[in-house]
Amino acid sequence: MRLRIYLVEDSPVIRAALSESLEELVGARVVDCASAEDQAIEWLAKHPNDWDLAVVDLFLLQGSGLNVVKSCSNRALRQKVVVLTGYATPAMRQRCLASGADAVFDKATEIDEFTSYAINEVERATGETRY
């Protein structure tokens, strides 16, 4: 089983690069993407069992990624939500974690840590060690 990732990112360039790297480097499958809060919340509500990891940016075309994170409060224990943002201040990290995020990563400085987290999630979901 491949890790199923739902990606919430407003930048088409970043969205494409993330999708490609997650699929190639991590072996995950991006099941769908959203660029706005209401679009993401609607997809997550309609597909509660169709994702394993949600990767959420804070600043979206409409709304806030923080509200997307909050909307995942009823997710299954196996499902993880991470925030990948360019605004990972200590205060914002705390807000994200308090809102239900499992982890917060800075796009500019913590991509390696984010990738390691995703690899660990693949291994947890599949029960295999790939690296």
Per-residue pLDDT of the chain (131 residues; tens, 9 = 90+): 689 999 999 999 999 999 999 999 888 999 999 999 999 999 999 999 999 999 999 999 999 999 999 999 999 999 999 999 999 999 999 999 999 999 999 999 999 999 999 989 888 776 654 43
CB 85 within 8 A of CB 104: yes
> Which residue is associated with the tokens 């979206």?
60
**If you ran DSSP here, which 8-state letter would residue 75 be given?**
-
Closest CA to 57 of 13, 122, 3, 1: 13
Q: Sheet of 4-8: strands edge to edge?
A: 29-34, 4-8, 53-56, 80-85, 103-106
Predicted model pTM: 0.93
Backbone angles phi, psi at 126, to 5 degrees: -95, -20
Q: Which domains does the chain have, with CATH numbers?
A: 4-126 (3.40.50.2300)
Cβ-based burial of 95 (10 A; exposed 0-12, middle 13-18, buried ≥19): middle
